[in-house]
Structure 1
Amino acid sequence: MFRPLWLVIGLTSLALGIAGIVLPLVPTTPFVLLAAYCFARSSPRLHDWLITHRAFGPLIRNWEQHRAIAPRAKLLAVTSMVAVFGMSFLVGAPERVIMIQAVILPLTALAIITRPSGPKTP
């Protein structure tokens, strides 16, 4: 009954994740992980395609198997958060936007940094 809804949410999330590859303020990884979650509930074919994808597959498998985020992904995520915060100052964002970012970005960075990095590769 909910399969079409999961499919729509998954496709939307995947589209946002792909947009995040080229748009600096849109995150990629959370949307791709959400897409994988939704596809697992709606379309085994799309889920299999996503987890075997050359770019997205390793991130998803690392999360599904170990609840881990690779060190490189952590570095890119935190670096982009710092860059967005800095750009907000440079472009003269409203004070309330700066204050919201000052609260949310460090908490998000902390959540990302404290995730395991996954299994050691030989």
Structure 2
Amino acid sequence: MRQKIKQYLFISLGWAFVVLGAIGAVVPLLPTTPFLILALACFAENSPRFHNMLLHHRWFGPALQQWEKNHTIRHSVKKKVYLLIIVTFGISITVLWGRPWLQLMLVGICLILLWFISRIKESEHLPP
């Protein structure tokens, strides 16, 4: 009984992280990849079907496979992430023109996010 509750809890958490990751694909302040990595971890032992579904997803699968194998991302993916962060935060900062405190907060969050991304190890190769 306890095992079933644990399994359902992790599957529910996994799907919540997938939803947050999907929202994060369009909302600048919400990251996509960390939520999908958390979903992958929730599904790893509790739902092999959902775990494989994420690993073989057309868009996110290769990056998640690489992360699961050696905790790295490709340099090209990292460059795209930098560009996406800068563009989305730039748009948000522009929309908030005339509100310097909110703009400064967004600049700070953007710099912290860029710093965290810069610390992730890179690899040029996809997993086999």
Match of 2:23 among 19, 23, 28: 19
Residues 1-122 of structure 1: pairs in structure 2 closer than 5 A: 1-21=5-25, 23-25=26-28, 26-92=30-96, 94-120=99-125
Distance in 2 (CA, whole Å) between partners of 1:4 and 1:96 is 43
TM-score, length of structure 2 as denominator length: 0.77
The 8 Å contact of residues 69 and 112 in structure 1, kept in 2 or not, is answered as no
CA displacement at 1:78 relative to structure 2:
1.3
CA displacement at 1:24 relative to structure 2:
4.6
Write the deviation string for residues 5-32 of structure 1: whole angstroms up to 9, x where unpaired.
21111112112323344x2524322222
Q: Output the amino acid matched with 1:33.
A: I
TM-score, length of structure 1 as denominator length: 0.80
The 8 Å contact of residues 68 and 115 in structure 1, kept in 2 or not, is answered as yes
The 8 Å contact of residues 40 and 51 in structure 2, kept in 1 or not, is answered as yes
Q: Which has the larger radius of gyration?
A: 2
Distance in 2 (CA, whole Å) between partners of 1:64 and 1:118 is 13
> Percent of pairs identical after alignment?
29
Distance in 2 (CA, whole Å) between partners of 1:37 and 1:65 is 13
The 8 Å contact of residues 66 and 118 in structure 1, kept in 2 or not, is answered as no
The root-mean-square deviation of aligned C-alpha atoms, in Å, is 2.2
